[in-house]
Amino acid sequence: MRYPSGVTAAGFLSHELYYWHDTGRWAGIFAPGPSMQPAAHVESEDSKRRIEGLLAVSGALDGLAPIEPRPATDGELHAVHTPAYVEHIETLCVAGGGMAGVATPVGFHSARAARLAAGGAIAAVEAALGDGPRRSYCLVRPPGHHAERDAAMGYCVFNSVAVAAHAAKGLGGGRVAVVDWDVHHGNGTQQAFWDDPDVLYISIHQDGLFPLDAGKIEETGGPSARGATINIPMPPGSGHGAYLHAFDQIVVPALQAFAPDIILVSAGQDGGFYDPMARQMCVAETFRQLTRRIMAVADEHCDGRLVMVHEGGYSDFHTPFLTAAIICELGELPPIEDPSALWTLHIPGQELQPHQAERIAAVHEAHRPFGLLA
């Protein structure tokens, strides 16, 4: 099916340099060794190239407004990361690369790609708050939400969403909401806004997956921002019904009560059924419905301003369909069918389970005193 040309309900941002970020020859997430044969690192460029390829071949790309990324400035990066850390990353990459932090290999082009990823997210925010597309998807790489103030980790170098959220505040987006549905907890983004009452951070992630001790229900924000951090640690095996219930009970009501000026999404599709890095059961329809719910809040509270930034998603054959579902929903384009949904959406356990409902209720109860969740 070809999509109608000239439709620009949403913007799309990508760049060839993102694919030049080189994670080297690993065995998935393990360094080659005496008994470990080298292979492709799990965070390779393949799944991201296939996302853009699927959009192009289907014609969906023709219905999106291109947004040109630019490198983030030192000042923009330093709002989130220390100058010493930024210099360390750039020095390491110019020397040919190496290990930037825990499970974060980088190559010669990685610092430039990470700076362009952060700047790309800012460019999308500038468009949303200016005269460009109100909503957009940034297909960037490397990912960012694990990157802390002075530490790379979990494949993440510079925290693009956190950098863009800081920029949004300076551009007139005084109240910023960040929704992080990557299956891993966004510890770096949480750290960046822990004590900032003007940034609402909501993370829905697999309980205890990565980092091991991060993203607990009782982590609710610093002294000046109690309740502005909401963690929803989902039990392994959560699928379509559980994710929609979490959004309907926690995410959407919290966003509506917070009434942001702009919403940013850390869009990691590694909660997908076939993802090798997690044990959740989401399908394309799950991400389409999550996107639809956030779009409705954005339309009601912030003139539709919604910027999604790619994070994880490591199934080369499945992630493109999950991401395309989001982008087609953003762009008001006909959906691209997820071929696996014919059976995965009907596998037992996709419905909301009692223990999942209990977990979501516990999050609601923990946040009742803070006002966003009545």
What spatial distance separates the first Cα and last Cα of the chain, rounded to whole Å? 45
Strands (DSSP E) found in the chain: 11-13, 25-26, 39-40, 65-66, 98-102, 104-106, 135-138, 152-153, 176-180, 199-206, 229-234, 262-267, 306-310
- The predicted-structure confidence for 118-135, as pLDDT tens digits, reads as follows 999 999 999 999 999 999
Note whether residue 326 is domain-resident. Answer: yes
Tell me the per-residue pLDDT of 235-273, one tens digit each, with 9 for 90 and over: 999 999 999 999 999 999 999 999 999 999 999 999 999
Residue 2 or 113, more confident: 113
pLDDT in tens, 348-372: 999 999 999 999 999 999 999 999 9
In a domain, 118, yes or no: yes
Question: How many independent structural domains does the chain possess?
Answer: 1
Within a domain: 6: no
Residue 3 has pLDDT above 80, yes or no: no
Q: Is residue 5 part of a domain?
A: no
Residue 332 lies in a domain: yes
- Name the band, by pLDDT with cuts 50, 70 and 90, for residue 26: confident
Residue 5 has pLDDT above 80, yes or no: no
**Neighbour count for residue 313 (Cβ, 10 Å):** 27
What is the tens place of the pLDDT at every residue in 79-115? 999 999 999 999 999 999 999 999 999 999 999 999 9
The predicted-structure confidence for 44-77, as pLDDT tens digits, reads as follows 999 999 999 999 999 999 999 999 999 999 999 9
> Is residue 59 assigned to a domain?
yes
Structural domain range at position 333: 15-30+40-370
- Quick: pLDDT tens for 209-245: 999 999 999 999 999 999 999 999 999 999 999 999 9
CA 197 vs CA 17, 121, 224: distances in Å: 35, 22, 6
Q: What's the mean pLDDT in 284-309? A: 98
Domain contains 222: yes
In this prediction, residue 8 carries a pLDDT of: 65
Comparing 29 with 157, the larger pLDDT belongs to: 157
**Residues annotated catalytic, as ranges:** 146
Q: Mean pLDDT score of the chain, rounded to an integer?
A: 96
Residue 169: what residue type?
Answer: K
Residue 163 lies in a domain: yes
- The CATH number that applies at residue 196 is 3.40.800.20
Q: Are 120 and 71 in contact (CB under 8 A)?
A: no
Exposed/middle/buried for residue 37 (C-beta within 10 Å: 0-12, 13-18, 19+): exposed
pLDDT at 7 > cutoff 60: no
